[in-house]
């Protein structure tokens, strides 16, 4: 447990310093928590530690981009894969889900990371990026809570609900001692500090999921629907998860929506959410996993798009969650990189790739979903 805790803290410390950009990890990185057993890894023999069952594809150099929510996981996965398979180099640019989708659809990357599904029009567009009559499909790979991080000196515990959050982020509630917030926090001395609401400036799956929660759980208070682009007026904006969490950290009175791993890395308190359950629910791996376990497959055919229940009232189920997908072609992937891409996807969806995600700040997906992902990867070409 000490080793896992040390590794988690080290990962979060590294992650908090990562600005959206290319994560190109050296195959022989100096990570003291995952040293080789003394046997030099080869392209056909996995390293002894942290990559025990990785089977390498044909050596290649491949690029991917997209979701900043999965940057910590990608850093972890790429490090392990490249240590086991030193002939392959993988880069992942955390430029936001929208940019990652665009890169993939334009043929610039082997796969995209995205916290929201492609639209029907984008699926049609993907047929030009995939050869052999292929089209893009979604592989749900990990989940996690979207935490409501805040910076309010003197206040460490805060309860909010969907209507109040909607009004805060729509500039209808502008002071921290507003009666709506005070009602949810009896006994807490709330200052009259102006609220500084922060949202993503880039096209973001985190934004899409957060606004999906607001529009589902507080439709009368949130008139903007859901989208990867921020639609409400007012507030402050920042690029990427790292930019947004830094803005909250540096601004007294700030509040923002960000993946839990980023809030933990910057030691920011996060709000509990009143859902109608017997008690408000904290953002955590366990509470997110409980909510995500209720997800249903909503994709057409055998596409594995998941539908989350943002209005859950189940005890200990955190309602503001997201699932991150890897987007690839069902057939017609690039021949030069497909062997390595498929081997990498097989590893990250496999038991070894999934087992260590909880201490990285991610929630596990239901076994029924993960098994479908593994089967789908086997059939991709």
The domain that contains 47 carries what CATH number?
3.40.190.10
Q: Let me know whether 155 and 212 are in one domain.
A: yes
Q: Which of 268, 292, 316 is the last residue of a domain?
A: 292
280-to-136, 159, 160 alpha-carbon distances in Å = 39, 7, 8
Q: Which of 273, 292, 311 is the last residue of a domain?
A: 292
What tokens does 113 get? 């990371």
pTM of this prediction exceeds 0.95: no
Q: Let me know whether 101 and 209 are in one domain.
A: no
Phi, psi of 2 (to 5 degrees): -60, -40
Asked if residue 194 belongs to a domain, the reply is yes
Q: Let me know whether 132 and 52 are in one domain.
A: yes
Q: What is the pLDDT of residue 60?
A: 97
Q: What is the pLDDT of residue 52?
A: 55
Q: What is the pLDDT of residue 53?
A: 78
Mean predicted lDDT score pLDDT of the chain: 86
- How far is residue 79's CA from residue 73's CA, in Å, rounded to a whole number? 10
Q: Let me know whether 342 and 373 are in one domain.
A: yes
State which residues of the chain have pLDDT below 70. Answer: 1-52, 358-359
Q: What angle do helix axes 162-169 and 205-217 make, rounded to 10 degrees?
A: 120
Q: What is the pLDDT of residue 46?
A: 36
Q: What is the pLDDT of residue 17?
A: 32
- How far is residue 355's CA from residue 347's CA, in Å, rounded to a whole number? 11
Q: Which of 249, 267, 292 is the last residue of a domain?
A: 292
Q: How many structural domains is the chain composed of?
A: 2
Query: Any long-range contacts for 289-296 (C-beta under 8 Å, 24+ apart)?
Result: 289/143, 289/363, 289/364, 290/314, 290/316, 290/317, 290/318, 291/317, 291/318, 291/319, 291/321, 292/143, 292/321, 292/323, 292/363, 292/365, 292/366, 293/366, 295/323, 295/366, 295/369
Q: Let me know whether 268 and 183 are in one domain.
A: yes
Asked if residue 224 belongs to a domain, the reply is yes
- How far is residue 378's CA from residue 246's CA, in Å, rounded to a whole number? 40
Q: Let me know whether 279 and 329 are in one domain.
A: no
Domain extent for 70: 2-143+325-378
Q: Let me know whether 165 and 67 are in one domain.
A: no
């Amino acid at each position: 447990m000490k080793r896992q805790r040390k590794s988690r803290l080290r990962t979060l410390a590294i992650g908090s310093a990562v600005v959206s950009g290319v994560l190109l990890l050296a195959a022989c990185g100096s990570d003291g928590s995952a040293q080789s057993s003394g046997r030099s890894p080869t392209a056909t023999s996995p390293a002894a530690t942290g990559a025990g069952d990785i089977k390498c594809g044909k050596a290649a150099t491949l690029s991917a981009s997209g979701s900043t929510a999965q940057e910590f996981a990608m850093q972890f996965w790429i490090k392990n894969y490249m240590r086991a398979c030193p002939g392959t180099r993988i880069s992942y640019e955390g430029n936001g889900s929208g940019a990652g989708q665009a890169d993939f659809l334009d043929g610039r990357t082997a796969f995209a990371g995205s916290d929201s599904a492609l639209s029907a029009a984008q699926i049609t567009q993907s047929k030009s990026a995939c050869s052999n009559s292929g089209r893009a499909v979604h592989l749900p790979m990990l989940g996690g809570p979207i935490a409501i991080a805040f910076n309010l000196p003197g206040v460490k515990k805060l309860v909010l609900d969907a209507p109040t959050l909607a009004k805060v982020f729509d500039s209808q509630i502008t002071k921290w001692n507003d009666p709506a917030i005070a009602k949810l926090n009896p006994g807490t001395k709330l200052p009259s500090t102006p609220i500084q609401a922060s949202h993503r400036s880039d096209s973001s799956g985190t934004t899409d999921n957060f606004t999906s929660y607001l529009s589902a759980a507080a439709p009368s208070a949130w008139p903007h629907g859901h989208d990867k682009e921020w639609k409400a007026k007012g507030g402050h904006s920042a690029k990427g998860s790292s930019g947004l969490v830094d803005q909250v950290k540096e601004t007294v009175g700030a509040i923002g929506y960000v993946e839990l791993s980023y809030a933990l890395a910057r030691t920011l308190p996060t709000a509990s959410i009143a859902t109608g359950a017997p008690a408000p629910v904290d953002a955590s791996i366990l509470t997110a996993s409980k909510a995500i376990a209720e997800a249903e497959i909503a994709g057409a055919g055998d596409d594995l798009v998941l539908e989350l229940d943002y209005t859950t009232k189940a005890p200990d189920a955190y309602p503001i969650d997201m699932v991150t997908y890897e987007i690839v072609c069902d057939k017609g992937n690039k021949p030069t990189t497909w062997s390595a891409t498929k081997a990498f996807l097989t590893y990250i969806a496999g038991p070894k790739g999934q087992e260590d995600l909880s201490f990285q700040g991610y929630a596990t997906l239901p076994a029924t979903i993960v098994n479908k992902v593994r089967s789908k990867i086997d059939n991709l070409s």
